[in-house]
Amino acid sequence: MKLLIWTLLLFTNILIAQSNEKFLTDFLLESELKSENVLDNYSQFDFSKIWELTENNNVLGIIGKEHQRLKIKLISIKKDQKNPNEYLVFGKSCVKGTICDFNGKIILTEIKEVKELHFGVDDEYADKGIKSQGILIADYEFKENSEQKHSGIFKGRLYSKWYLNSKNQIEYDNIEFISDGYTNNAFVGIWKSYTTDKEKICNWADYRIPNTNRDFDIGAGEFSPSEKYFDKGWSDYKPMEIDDWWK
């Protein structure tokens, strides 16, 4: 019995590792990363801007195995002056019309630079003075207001692409935006209910959603939910919709 348990655990860990590797490969498109974690080299920079830039209609999320639509809005993000790798977050979530407030943190754990700078189609950014590019990996935990209905905790890992411009400012890396499958700011994790302690998969990101069922996103160049999931909140999805639901 013990051998069977250890075998199952090993097999599960292998599957998770393979899934993470595939996710990073898709997330990075064709970029390769240096192995060194250079987190300390970037502690003086403020990354908060890159999480606030994308229009909310392009921040797409799912909760649960059935891929119920999740709407997320990070309303306020401030760098903690005492802890340079931590960011204080206030935002709101919406599932099936139920809106909850949440507070929490994003804690940077890794920063890795790309081996070769990328400059977009026809080297559009080649003369922009880009100093470095890479991804950041962070842990996040957002706690919804426990006094509100159907509330819980979001937690997991965040992956964001960035570059350092000629003025020593961190910028949102949308240089490869026109590439099929482009995504950024991928929050990959779970949501845990306060009342039942049950956990649900919960992922969201800019433009495409990470780690979804193969039959969920049927779009080629851009996100498009399958009709199979229309009754999970996706029937009225429009990429250009203006919906300030959090106000």
Please state the domain extents for the chain: 32-232
Q: At 244, list the tokens.
A: 């300030």
CA atoms within 13 A on the CB side of 127: 2
CA distance 68 to 238: 16
Residue 32's contacts (CB-CB under 8 Å, 6 or more residues apart) are 114, 115, 116
Q: At 177, list the tokens.
A: 């935006």
**Do the beta carbons of residue 159 and residue 136 sit within 8 Å?**
yes
* DSSP state letter for 33: B
* pLDDT of res. 74: 98
The pLDDT tens digits along the chain (247 residues) read 545 444 433 443 333 333 455 677 778 877 899 999 999 999 999 999 999 999 999 999 999 999 999 999 999 999 999 999 999 999 999 999 999 999 999 999 999 999 999 888 778 888 889 999 999 999 999 999 999 999 999 999 999 999 999 999 999 999 998 888 899 999 999 999 999 999 999 999 999 999 999 999 999 888 999 999 999 999 989 888 788 999 9
The pTM score is 0.90
CB neighbours of residue 226 within 10 Å: 15
CA distance 198 to 100: 18
How far, in Å, are 7, 56, 62, 242 from residue 202 at the CA level?
A: 27, 17, 6, 23
133's enclosing H/E stretch is strand 132-144
* pLDDT of res. 21: 57
Helix (H, G, I), strand (E, B) or coil at 215: coil
* pLDDT of res. 54: 94
Task: Output phi, psi for 133, to 5 deg.
Answer: -140, 160
Task: Output phi, psi for 157, to 5 deg.
Answer: -120, 145
**Do the beta carbons of residue 49 and residue 174 sit within 8 Å?**
no
* pLDDT of res. 5: 45
Q: One-letter amino acid identity for 151?
A: S
Q: One-letter amino acid identity for 8?
A: L
Number of H helices, E strands in the chain: 1, 9
Q: At 59, list the tokens.
A: 């921040």
Q: One-letter amino acid identity for 95?
A: V
* pLDDT of res. 136: 97
Helix (H, G, I), strand (E, B) or coil at 233: coil
Cα dihedral 153, 154, 157, 159 sign: negative
**Do the beta carbons of residue 61 and residue 54 sit within 8 Å?**
no
Q: At 66, list the tokens.
A: 């059935």
